[in-house]
Structures are given as structure tokens and as C-alpha cells.
Structure 1
Amino acid sequence: MRNWPKTIPGASFKGFPFQVDDEGIGESGRFVALHPYVKAEVHGTEDMGRKARTYHVTAYIVGDDADAAAMAFVERCSTPGAGMLVLPITEPVMAHCVGCATNNRKTEMGKVAFDLRFLEQGSEFGGPVPIALGDRIAQGALDTLGDVVADAISAFVPDERVGFLPPF
């Protein structure tokens, strides 16, 4: 039988520890473009790649200094750049904190609760790697090259139905 408390890591973001009540991947899957066709009963779909994953966490900090620690955690979540997000169940990931809201209750003094949202880190350059993009453009050109060559050759072959070359 697995001893869960001993086998799961403690939670932290950019090295700042916190406790977790709930965690989960809020968004995942694929971007799929829908292409409707005029007066058709079918449509096309195009896989545009994997969606960026979002993580939703209900967390808390508890202790005699929870108020000061909570404010320090809010500041950590507000610093620029991605940091390592470690959660008890989900694998560690480089992520940006895109939402950090506190929730304090009169009946729970010494505890500050948080609703946290994280977005996994993507490419720093905002798009496909230039070499991969160049490869994709070259592949597209090669895919159509056969049709272009066939059209060019057919322009010089006599049309046997009428016995002359087609006009240019």
C-alpha cells in the first residue's frame, strides 16, 4: 500500500513553499481549426498543435507569520518570468503565475488561502523555431512542385484532339 504523504513532494513556486488543498490541469488538448465549405455537408479540420496547459491550485499558507508570508508569496507570484512550479500530484513544470488571489477568513486566523492560476512556459520567441518554420515552407513548396512541373510540361505537349499547341 502506497504511503501518499511520504511519496508526494511539497508544493512550491519559484522556491516558495505552500500547502495545497486542490490542484488540477485546467486546460489541455489540441487547437483544431474548423474549415467549413460553402454549400457542403462536410467540413475540414486542421490540427494546429497542442494547447498550452493551465494549472489551477487552491493553496494556503499557515502559521504565526502567515500574513507576512502570504504577502511575500504574492510578491513572488508577481515577479517577471517563469519559475518552477512543483505540485503534489502534477509533474513539475516551468510556469508563469497568471493569477494569485488571497482569501482570508475570520474563523481561520493564522491561515491565508489562495486561488492560483499558472500557465506553462512556452517559447520565448513567440512562435515556431525559425529552422522548423523554414522546413515547413520548403516542404510545402516541394509538395506542390510536382503539379507545377506537370502543368509546365503539358503546356508544350500538342493537344491531340485538335492537332495544335494550346495558346499561351
Structure 2
Amino acid sequence: MTTRLVPYESLNAVQRQQVEAIEVHPQQLKYSGDIHGALHAVLSRQSSGVKGFALLADDVPVAFLLLKRPPALPAWASEHSATLHALQVDHRAQGKGYGKACLQALPAVAREAWPEIKGLELSVDADNEAAIALYARFGFVYSGEAYKGRVGYERRMGWVFP
């Protein structure tokens, strides 16, 4: 199966409907939110600093994520980075390596979207051990606390372009 991470605006009408149908497991909603909140951030056009990306598996969307830059960059992030938000893998496609595929493709698409960035950052709930481990496997390192979240302070993790 071929996967590729593509900008939301490059999707055709059928693929956009398929993105709208992405559902995460109910226990993951507290971490990633739902697809409608993520799409609202992209479609509201309130900020040029928000871009959506869909992971296509054989041209069918199976995951979605947001990247942010100024003026939408969170206060805890470096002005020289892009931040990852709302990484969502459809529950019907879980366990097939799509989260890993998103993270593998992420540096290239982020750099293509914003060539001036020097790295990527994210915040993750301190109790989301699976996500922390996944991000660490892809080179994200703990860089301090981001802000007070649901269960204490969110962990800030970063990745710097070589």
C-alpha cells in the first residue's frame, strides 16, 4: 500500500468527504479532538498560518493533521518552527502504521509549506504515553513544559532540521 501526506487543498471532492468521515476512537478524542474541529481550523480561513494535511493510503484519506505557523503559532512554540496539532488516524485504519507514516512524511511537507522553518514542535498530554513514545521514535525530544493541560502540564517536544 502506498501512502503520501498531501495538503488538504489538493484533495478532490470525494477525498474531502472521506476526510470528513475520519473518526478517532472515543478515548483518543481528549488528545486529538475530532475531525470537525480540525477541519474548522483549516476551512475558516481565519489564519494563513494553519495548513491541513491528509495521509492518503492508495488515494484514500486515512489520517489528518494540522500544522501551524505565525500568526497561528502557539505562545509556547519557537517562532522558527511549525507546530503539529490534531494528528488523527481513522479508527478503522488503526494499527497499520499510518501514524508512523504521517510522522515520517511530516518534515518534508512542513519544509515544503514553509521553507524558512528550522524545526517542528508539538505538545502532548503527559499521560499520553503511546504518543510520547511514537514521537520520540521519530526524533522528537522533550524540551520542557508547554502549558497547563487536562492532567498537569503538557510536554513540549521538538525536532530540528539537520
TM-score range, shorter chain: under 0.3
Normalised TM-score (structure 2): 0.28
Determine which structure has more spread, i.e. the larger CA radius of gyration: 1
- Which structure shows the higher helix fraction? 2
- Which structure shows the higher strand fraction? 1
